[in-house]
Chain A
């Protein structure tokens, strides 16, 4: 039952990714698509943390920041290739998540939210203040991945937008596959069980603290890789990538589409990524609309868009 579900979801995602470019009015939209996929990737981590394990984080952008600045700093200071910097960033994020997760995850609800918030803001502060290293609030450049010239030599000419569209789509598919694997696995069940009832989960032998920590670390790695890709794609990064607003956007994207599912998260990411694009003329109204959307969705569609739409379709089917 869940096995079929996994491949259906991945299939749908892949089809959308393949078909979408046919609707692009211009090459610019490849970049928008790439942005949607990278945002969806960061949100997948939150699907694991919030959707599966029932925790909350208002500071996950901090891990995106670690991943992003890894790609900016490591090639320059450690001489490694940007692709390796992505892995380095993921490793650093994972370790950080492991260290702070242990004490932080003993908390629940608002306390957990604010503790994670604190973490995110501390990361942003360090990135902003250490100008000598990070270029401060104005940001710093990120070296190029260098894959396009390689592909050109192999006979494949791709624009920057096209390259990142494909690259991010592939990474998102892999990330989605992993998240779906997790869902139907014993580890995923342990996380979902503790979400349902921590007390009962313990009585069947689940070490609740351990599985919360695993969810936290996994979601941190997702955010980190997404942050790295974002940095590489834009060629430039500022401390905002780790900021509170970015964390809020990530959580909103997760919950908007339906925090329990991969497709839902992608939908949420798509909507919130497109919002500023749609509102470019009304840039000043962006915050107003974002705030309004957040409130309205949470009141009227608390499960997120996808489950609500799905429920409506099911009703019509009956």
Chain B
């Protein structure tokens, strides 16, 4: 039972990160119909920039804020320089562009930073907490709590604020949104900035546990995508549930089946979802109109 709870905790922790990556995917997908393969790089940047800023002497909270701001800026740049110019291009082109962007960001990080693994100190210490017979790192609570806080904040933003509703309207029908006076250019910028910031924050939260290096982005992007698909592409609630479920599947597989193949879980999930229920847990079935 203890081992089981242990797996649950680690599953929820890593699942929270996947949920945040999935949320980032969802926001950009809703805003622009693009699947941003560079999403994982935002997490990496959040971690890496914080590490280097912190190591340079800045207090941790300030380093984190700077990292999130810079990453948000990179997200906006990604939209302006790579995605907007290719508006309306076929899916193959957009896929290559965002993969190219992720490779570019990775390549730049390799030069600007380095290829080492880096860590951050835990926010509130390393003393493990004992709950239900297993140990939980305080940082895990930061990660899981942080994820929930972000989801709630975003839910409030989208449902209670005018700007949030404008974002939803743009996601639903860009032209109609423009016609009612919504500045869709700004909404796109905001969406990318938000998505990048969320990714960066996830990176800051999880680096004390999982460490960070220039190439952690790819794996995270793929798992975040799996989570988004599991929950239903474009559904924020689905992103949360999908992420946590994926994390749990992965941890339980690692614990009970094979730790080598735990990485395969995400891909098996992707394939299973695509074959059995392509619309995901919370997605709606669509009919193609001819």
Chain A residues in the interface with B (C-beta under 8 A): 50, 56, 58, 103-104, 107, 109-111, 113-115, 117-119, 121-122, 125, 129, 199, 244, 248, 251-252, 255, 259, 284-295, 298-299, 302
Question: Across the interface, do B264 and A111 meet the contact criterion of CB distance under 8 Å?
Answer: no
Chain B residues close to A by CB (< 8 Å): 35, 81-82, 85-86, 89-97, 99-108, 110-111, 218, 222, 225, 229, 260-261, 263-264, 267-268, 270-271, 274-275, 278, 290
Residues of B within 8 A of A287 (CB): 103-104, 106-107, 110
Q: Which residues of B contact A113 (CB under 8 A)?
A: 91, 95
A163 CA / B62 CA spacing, docked (Å)? 61
Q: Are A117 and B222 in contact (CB under 8 A)?
A: yes
List the B residue with the shortest CB-CB distance to A50. Answer: B92
CA distance A50 to B274 in the complex (A): 20
Which A residues are in CB contact (< 8 Å) with B90? 302
B271 interface neighbour in A58, A109, A110, A115, Cβ under 8 Å: A115
Check A199–B290 contact: CB distance below 8 A: yes
Contact of B99 among A50, A115, A292, A294 (CB under 8 A): A294
A244 touches B267 (CB 8 A): no
- Structural contact, B111 and A288, CB atoms closer than 8 A: yes
Q: Which of A58, A291, A292 contacts B95 (CB 8 A)?
A: A58
A56 touches which of B85, B95, B97, B104 (Cβ 8 Å): B95
Number of A-B contacts (CB under 8 A): 124
* Bound-complex Cα distance A288 to B92 (A): 21
A291 x B107 contact (CB < 8 A): yes
Q: Answer whether A302 and B86 are a contact pair too, CB < 8 Å, given A118-B270, A287-B110.
A: yes
Chain A residues near B110: list those with CB within 8 A.
284, 287-288
Judge whether A288 and B107 touch: CB under 8 Å: yes
Q: Are B222 and A121 in contact (CB under 8 A)?
A: yes
Quick one: which of A103, A113, A252 has the most chain B CB within 10 A? A113
Q: CB-CB < 8 A to B95: which residues of A?
A: 56, 58, 110, 113, 251
Contact B260 A291, beta carbon cutoff 8 Å: no
For the complex, give the distance between the alpha carbons of A215 and B225 in Å.
27
Going nearest first, the 4 A-B pairs with the smallest beta carbon separation are: A291-B104, A294-B100, A287-B107, A288-B107
How far is the CB of A38 from the nearest CB of chain B, in Å?
22
Which of these, A248, A288, A294, contacts B108 with CB under 8 Å?
A288
Residues of A within 8 A of B225 (CB): 114
Q: Do A299 and B86 have beta carbons less than 8 Å apart?
A: yes
A103–B107 CB distance below 8 A: no
In the bound complex, what is the Cα–Cα distance between A115 and B85 (angstroms)?
27
User: Inside 8 A of B107's CB, which chain A residues have their CB?
Assistant: 284-291
Complex contacts, A302 vs chain B, CB 8 Å: 86, 89-90, 93
Q: How far is the CA of A268 from the CA of B153 in the complex (A)?
A: 46
How far is it, in angstroms, between the C-alpha of A291 and the C-alpha of B278 when the chains are bound? 30
Further 10 A-B residue pairs, CB within 8 A, beyond A290-B104, A295-B97 = A56-B91, A58-B99, A107-B278, A109-B91, A287-B106, A288-B111, A291-B105, A294-B103, A295-B100, A299-B86
* Interchain nearest-CB distance for A127 vs B (Å): 12
Q: Which residue on A lies nearest to B260, using beta carbons?
A: A129
Chain B residue, CB-CB nearest to A295: B100
Inter-chain contacts of B102 with A (CB < 8 A): 291
Residues of chain B lying within 8 A (CB to CB) of residue A294: 96-97, 99-100, 103-104
Q: CB within 8 A of A292: which of B85, B93, B104, B218?
A: B104
With both beta carbons as reference points, the residue of chain B lying nearest to A121 in the complex is identified as B267
By a CB distance below 8 angstroms, the chain A residues around B270 are: 114-115, 117-118
What are some 11 contacts across the A-B interface (CB < 8 A)? A113-B91, A115-B270, A122-B268, A255-B93, A287-B110, A291-B100, A295-B82, A295-B97, A295-B100, A302-B89, A302-B90
